[in-house]
Structure 1
Amino acid sequence: MFDSLYIHVPFCAGKCAYCAFFSLGAATPAQHRCYLTALAAECRRRAPNCEPLQTIFVGGGTPNILSPDELQEFLAIIGNNFVLAADCEWTVEANPESLTPEKIALLAAAGVNRLSIGIQSFKAQLRERIGRRGSLAQLPAIMRAARDAGISRINFDLIFAIPGQTLADWRDDLAQALSWQPSHLSAYALTLEEGTALAQSLQNDLYDDDFVAFWDTSDELLGQQGLRRYEISNFARPGDECRHNQRIWHGASYLGCGPAATSFDGQDRWTNPAQFQQWLNGRPPEVDHIDADARAAEILAFGMRCVTGWQWDEYRQRCQREPMAFRGDALRRLQKLGLITLDANGARPTRQGLLFNDDLVAELL
């Protein structure tokens, strides 16, 4: 049984140059209609496998690109098919260009209590450099409307190490973000994903992103305002961590609906087709099946994205493995390398373990 839900809305105004997620730019009203019809059918089919939902995360694409009527229908699909726990955390990703007070009111009325707003940068030239459309002119109205509607948990997405971005630019972006007093901030290093427009345009460029300086500046400035790093790329005020993502990082099961959405039942992972018409036609998902030991190692490694790492009691309950018997040699090597701290109660990544998390993960796998 699942108690977390992810829904993928595959529409956006246009593809950002850095984006590797499945999305359709400039989709037609007819495509929106087909999506809502198919999503309703998928949710009806899958909802019996769900317990009361502890978390919901709606991502994309740009979920709020739906018109007010479409958005209301979308929210009703969730409300009519799933039972929500009394304290369900319901997050919706949003682009400030197409988010309006009317849409915010619809979200709040349906039970959405957390917004994740894609800022990327407050500097127009840097937004343009990564192909981010639109402006942030509507941000003041959005923030007022969200707080008036009772949505106080707000995340800003920011990106650093953009080509041409200086450390002073990044400090200014962080300062502007903090001026809005968000409860959560995601600070992602720009990743040149294979096949994206940005990766192709920069294939012959050389630039020094001074990654560690950006990283340490994030800890310094955000920490001064009470936002602490709790995962490689995420900061929050105490109690405002994203519960949905925390559960996934620690191996919890979740249901995914919509094209390209992934589900996980604790052992097997499966992903819906990342092609709109195939999903509409009901093509079966692609199943990622590995043996139980490999999955337990993956879950152990993935939890090391978080500053708190693992408490062994939680890991034993999740994976039915004694961690030191299962991966003790690897854990001790990581401790000697200074990538984790290790004791009888659990293991946690050090600063170096977060900075070089790929190496940490490779050792555990």
Structure 2
Amino acid sequence: MSLLAPPLSLYVHMPWCVKKCPYCDFNSHGVRSEPPPYDAYTDLLLADLDADLVDFGAAVQGRPIISVFFGGGTPSLFAPELIERFLDGARARLPFVDDCEITLETNPGTVEHGRFDGYLAAGVNRISFGVQSFDDDKLRRLGRIHSAVEAEAAVKSAQDAGYTNINLDLMYALPQQLLDGALADVERAIALQPTHVSHYQLTLEPNTAFAANPPPLPDDDHAWAMQEACEQRLAAAGYGQYEISAYAQPGRRCVHNLNYWRFGDYLGIGAGAHGKWSDVGDGQVHRRWKTRLPRAYMEARGGPARIGGDSLVSAAELPFEYMLNALRLVDGVPLADFSERTGLPPGRIAAMLAAARKRGWLREGPHQLHTTPLGQRFLNDVIASFLD
């Protein structure tokens, strides 16, 4: 089988936030006494993009961008004119599809009133709010800088500015949380009428403050009960689950994240950003990541020192890498996509598929990769079964 070039997205990392949350393992850095160099960083993002386009050559040049995602950190610390400057520069270098989804992650505690008008004018057409909870006690335990009232006000402000595509991030299985509390968070989210809800379990990640001093969390059975109950409530409100932690109104699934889960390609720009691209010419899947520390990234000024590493995804690794993403999708993916995105023949995973079906993890059927409810519950075990 030959490798086909999948859709291409653009991820842009903004590494600064007001305060590092104790559960966060992202490449984020709290703002200290002096404000970060937002203006200079924006220009260096474009220099980074220029250098990647030269390095990757025909593998990416001229391919249309289907989505852009500004992640962090807290991208809403960057003024709208800086977001516009980057987007204008990116469009001058790469074609954007007409309906390109452009998402900006936003902390409800950092957005100034009126800024949403500016982001909309800059070209951002989707806002993602890191709400996490509508319980002020839980927000304090999570180290968040906003209150529930501020979160609701921020969402309504974005809606008043004209945003019709809004995601709310919610967590469950929070410290000492009960089922009623998890459901109450979902109810308050639904009342705001977002188009999309990301609902995921709080986990203790290595090298975080919570990992060093774990808070009292619900056990696995209670966490599973919260997930099931919240899933049912979201479904009743018209939010269809299409991925383990993603729920959307009809026609509002996240284009950017779907491209990740379908093993699409993405350029990673900014400190600590990761990218993945398929080179049809050499038949290989490549990865690149950028150096993590903002100061080191900026000192590289778009030069080779900005690169944290490059790697080829080996044929032995590709089945696991593909399933790590694709099996998160509730509806699964066509089996033919495996070969198109990896360049490997279907026979490469035939024995693995047979073993997973025998365990009841995958549905029967020769044309679709699709987990059963049991497979969804034990997804980590399912994915691990595709390790070579």
Who is 1:208 aligned against? Answer: 219
Contact kept in structure 2, 1:186 and 1:233, CA below 8 Å: yes
- The alignment yields a C-alpha RMSD, in angstroms, of 2.1
Who is 1:42 aligned against? Answer: 48
1:258 and 1:145 map into 2 onto residues whose CA distance is 29
Residues 168-200 of structure 1 deviation map (CA, whole Å, 9 limit, x = unaligned): 100100000000111111111011011111121
Deviation of residue 118 (structure 1)? 0.5
Distance 1:293 1:255, change over 3 A: same
Deviation of residue 247 (structure 1)? 1.0
TM-score by structure 1 length? 0.92
Q: Does 1:329 align with 2:351?
A: yes
2:236 and 2:355 map into 1 onto residues whose CA distance is 34
Contact kept in structure 2, 1:112 and 1:151, CA below 8 Å: no
Contact kept in structure 2, 1:17 and 1:132, CA below 8 Å: no
2:271 alignment partner AA: P
Contact kept in structure 1, 2:239 and 2:249, CA below 8 Å: yes
2:153 and 2:184 map into 1 onto residues whose CA distance is 21
2:312 alignment partner AA: H
Q: Which residue of the other structure, out of 340, 359, 363, is the alignment partner of 2:381?
A: 359
Q: Which residue of the other structure, out of 234, 237, 250, is the alignment partner of 1:238?
A: 250
1:344 and 1:313 map into 2 onto residues whose CA distance is 10
Residues 71-108 of structure 1 deviation map (CA, whole Å, 9 limit, x = unaligned): 45444444554432101011111111112343211211
Contact kept in structure 2, 1:71 and 1:103, CA below 8 Å: no
Q: Which residue of the other structure, out of 253, 256, 260, is the alignment partner of 2:272?
A: 260
Structure 2, unaligned stretches of length 5 or more?
55-59, 279-284
- The within-5 A match list for 1:1-365 is 3-27=8-32, 28-46=34-52, 49-50=60-61, 51-202=63-214, 207-208=218-219, 210-266=222-278, 267-282=285-300, 283=305, 284-323=307-346, 325-365=347-387
Deviation of residue 298 (structure 1)? 1.7
Deviation of residue 135 (structure 1)? 2.0
2:91 and 2:150 map into 1 onto residues whose CA distance is 28
Residues 229-267 of structure 1 deviation map (CA, whole Å, 9 limit, x = unaligned): 111111112221111111111111110100010010131
1:275 alignment partner AA: L
**Which shifted more, 26-35 or 331-340?**
26-35
Structure 1, unaligned stretches of length 5 or more?
none
Contact kept in structure 2, 1:130 and 1:198, CA below 8 Å: no
**Which shifted more, 65-74 or 298-307?**
65-74
Contact kept in structure 1, 2:292 and 2:308, CA below 8 Å: no
2:376 alignment partner AA: L
Contact kept in structure 2, 1:158 and 1:185, CA below 8 Å: yes
Contact kept in structure 2, 1:9 and 1:59, CA below 8 Å: yes
